[in-house]
Amino acid sequence: MTYALAIHVEDGLVFCSDSRTSAGTDHINVYSKMHTFVCPGKRFFCLLSSGNLATTQAVLQRLRQDTAQPGRLSLWTVPTLVAAADYIGMISADIQRNQSSRDAASTVFEATFILGGQIQGEVPGIYLVYPQGNYIHESAEHPFLQVGEIKYGKPILDRVVHSALPLEKAGRCALVSMNSTIRSNLMVGAPIELLFYRNGSLEPGEYLNLADDDPFYRSVADSWSQGLAVAMDALPVFPWE
């Protein structure tokens, strides 16, 4: 299982992902699900991956190979962000079909991606690329996208995230959403990766890789628990109290 999300606010983009992979409950590993493609000053992409690990690794390898071949369709040559989403969707669906053609069982080879970034001269944005290869983008009314185990961490995003949120505040909101998910589902786990992108910078911004016992991460989790307790105490009392 995975939980990953991206938020698009006026100042830029926030990317956040867990690092737990599992094949059943007795084969747990740590793999980064956050992958960046940076051509400094020209284009910046961040790809968050979820689903079948063989598929996501094959997609990533293919994306890297393509960027190494000048003139080929790649993240260095796609004209727009939506063209990048389309290109990734095509590769992902292609790899899933190839894997299925070798399969004697009914294995699920599906993978889902969040792609975000900016190309010089274009506006930044985020896309969710489905296993079928199609995709959606965020909207001003719904400025975040999630993949994987999305439900535990969605209420806080629904209540707090809007386009005008300062970038760091959106980052804190992503951390809290991730922390709530990790507390409720063993299949989502640290380290947590958190990456900021500032509009127009065309390079990655601040990056954090937070272990479960990281002092800053613990202070955020503890502060949030205390804040919820205060909010709970401030709720209106029942008529008979």
Q: Provide the minimum distance between the beta carbon of 179 and its own copies in the complex, in angstroms, as a whole number.
A: 9
Say whether residue 232 binds its own copies (CB under 8 A): yes
Say whether residue 1 binds its own copies (CB under 8 A): no
- Name which of 70 and 215 has its Cβ closer to its own copies: 215
Q: Provide the minimum distance between the beta carbon of 174 and its own copies in the complex, in angstroms, as a whole number.
A: 11
| Helix, strand or coil, per DSSP, at residue 15 | strand
**CA of 183: how far to CAs of 33, 177, 178, in Å?**
19, 10, 9
Count of residues that interact with its own copies, criterion CB under 8 A:
42
Q: Provide the minimum distance between the beta carbon of 221 and its own copies in the complex, in angstroms, as a whole number.
A: 10
CA distance 187 to 75: 31
CA distance 169 to 238: 33
Do you find a cis peptide bond into 191, omega within 30 degrees of 0? yes
Of the candidates 68, 133, 61, the one whose C-alpha atom is nearest the C-alpha of residue 94 is 133
Of the candidates 79, 86, 87, the one whose C-alpha atom is nearest the C-alpha of residue 63 is 87
Say whether residue 216 binds its own copies (CB under 8 A): yes
CA distance 46 to 183: 26
Q: Which of positions 110-169 make contact with its own copies (CB under 8 A)?
A: 151-156, 158-160, 168-169
Of the candidates 124, 37, 46, the one whose C-alpha atom is nearest the C-alpha of residue 80 is 124
Return all residues near 198 (Cβ < 8 A) that are at least 6 apart: 11, 12, 167, 205
21-29 long-range Cβ contacts below 8 angstroms, 24+ apart: 21/53, 22/187, 25/186, 25/187, 28/189
Q: Provide the minimum distance between the beta carbon of 153 and its own copies in the complex, in angstroms, as a whole number.
A: 8
Say whether residue 184 binds its own copies (CB under 8 A): yes
Q: Provide the minimum distance between the beta carbon of 101 and its own copies in the complex, in angstroms, as a whole number.
A: 29
| Helix, strand or coil, per DSSP, at residue 151 | coil
Say whether residue 171 binds its own copies (CB under 8 A): yes
Q: Provide the minimum distance between the beta carbon of 33 and its own copies in the complex, in angstroms, as a whole number.
A: 20
Say whether residue 183 binds its own copies (CB under 8 A): yes
Q: Single out the residue of 103, 122, 200, 206 in contact with its own copies (rule: CB under 8 A).
A: 206
Say whether residue 208 binds its own copies (CB under 8 A): yes
Q: Single out the residue of 68, 104, 105, 237 in contact with its own copies (rule: CB under 8 A).
A: 237
Q: Provide the minimum distance between the beta carbon of 151 and its own copies in the complex, in angstroms, as a whole number.
A: 4
Sites of contact with its own copies (CB under 8 A)? 151-156, 158-160, 168-169, 171-173, 176, 180-181, 183-184, 206, 208, 216, 219-220, 223-232, 234-241
